Structure 1
């Protein structure tokens, strides 16, 4: 029985896409002498930020609490002890209209005042299925071209596909920034979606 000859190759491909969604962690952090005062002030400031975000056009489904913490503030020096309490309340906000992002951030800043905190901002692609499919096409084409070259070098012809294994697809680095100034302009830039595939071809 003649042993089947095969060639196994890896292919990679990329497709460009423009981010169309911004996700940011925004909220408030306050320090007061006692827990009750800190919780009350944080609640009022967060409600103001929430109202501003909703008023600026963010849908309620795009607002999700991501952090709520209470930490004592320790006094240093000759009289150690608790000097107050810090309450932090953060939201993950999804902004689907990048053209309105700067105005939305400005509204949140005005509402939160000195209590406002913006931990991070990331630009991403809401539906990556189309560019991801294009990346897969490019990865498979790359694998076939490599396999075809190896077949020619071996004096053989490329046959049918016997096996296909895809590595986990990935995004290129998402544009990220930390920010406090809400009036800054927002540029979406471009991201690369990558695909990698391992393919086994029969040689004839």
Structure 2
């Protein structure tokens, strides 16, 4: 055998070995395929068969609770006397809140207390003319039909600071579920209409996103009852009239349907 033939055989063996190694590496790095798996081309088709709609849910409710901001302001020559007068007036108000109206302790909360100087202003420098003490309460009141009568009773007991009423609901979770159902029904109706127009039929929900949660707003009513006004109402014999109005509960959902 000559040297040329031996070299040719060595090159042939080396080439076969290199091809075998390349094949092994390819098999190891090749992606595995499963019959039930959706690949890029199929995913593209699936994405094209999706309808995305936004559904709105809305309902109007009557408030069932009022948060009343009221308090007592007293004045005296000294800070100590102003605070003592305030404490005495507050005891009368407490009797109305807890004894007459049977409010729970958790429904009456002190929201602010301050004692401060009161000034008289002249052409030169302001001078202290006395002191005032103010204690503010937030009262949770649920008998909304008699809210005006309650405010009059509180005013007569010494509450000369009635700053406002905030109406809301304590059934937020119940209304939340109802308004979400309305939003989903609205989204389904929209998707059905779109699919029908396209000659298709809705099959299933792909994804749902609730945007912004459920909004249960509060409604504010500004009330400022001064002592003179309260006395005039007492003389007339008619209670304060309060309109509770209505609250609107809303939400929206974004839903993707497959067809």
Selected match of 1:30 from 65, 74, 78: 74
Root-mean-square deviation over aligned CA pairs? 2.1
What is the rounded CA distance, in whole Å, between the counterparts of 1:200 and 1:117 in structure 2?
53
1:102 pairs with 2:148 = yes
* Cα-to-partner distance string for 1:143-171 (whole Å, 9 max, x where unaligned): 11222223334443323112212122112
Asked whether the 8 Å contact 1:15–1:132 carries over to 2, the reply is no
1:193 aligns with 2:249: yes
State which drifts further: 66-75 or 180-189.
180-189
Q: Which moved more, 1:63-72 or 1:74-83?
A: 74-83
More strand by share: 1
**Cα gap change, 1:92 to 1:34, in 2 (>3 Å):** same
For residues 147 and 66 of structure 1, what CA distance do their matches in structure 2 show?
Answer: 50
Alignment TM-score, normalising by the size of structure 1 = 0.87
1: CA distance between counterparts of 2:60 and 2:100? Answer: 30
Which of 186, 189, 198 aligns to 1:145? It is 189
Structure showing greater radius of gyration is 2
Q: Using a 3 Å threshold, how does the CA distance of structure 1 residues 97 and 161 change in structure 2: closer, same or farther? A: same
Deviation at 1:175, TM superposition (A): 5.0
1:91 to 112, 137, 141: 137
Using structure 2 for the length normalisation, give the TM-score. 0.70
SS at match of 1:158: coil
Write the mapping of 1:3-152 to structure 2, written as runs, cut at 5 A.
3=44, 4=46, 5=48, 6-57=50-101, 58-77=103-122, 78-112=124-158, 116-152=160-196
Structure 1 unaligned segments of length 5 or more: list them: none
1:87 Cα deviation from its structure 2 partner: 1.8
Moved segments of 4+, more than 6 Å:
none
- Contact preservation (8 Å) 1:26, 1:117: yes
Give the Å deviation of 1:126: 1.8
Contact 2:166–2:218 (CA under 8 A) maintained in structure 1: no
How far, CA to CA, are the matches of 2:220 and 2:57 in structure 1?
Answer: 21
By percentage of residues, which structure has more helix?
A: 2
Match of 2:157, SS state, is helix
The offset of 1:172, in angstroms, is: 4.6
- Aligned position for 1:163: 207
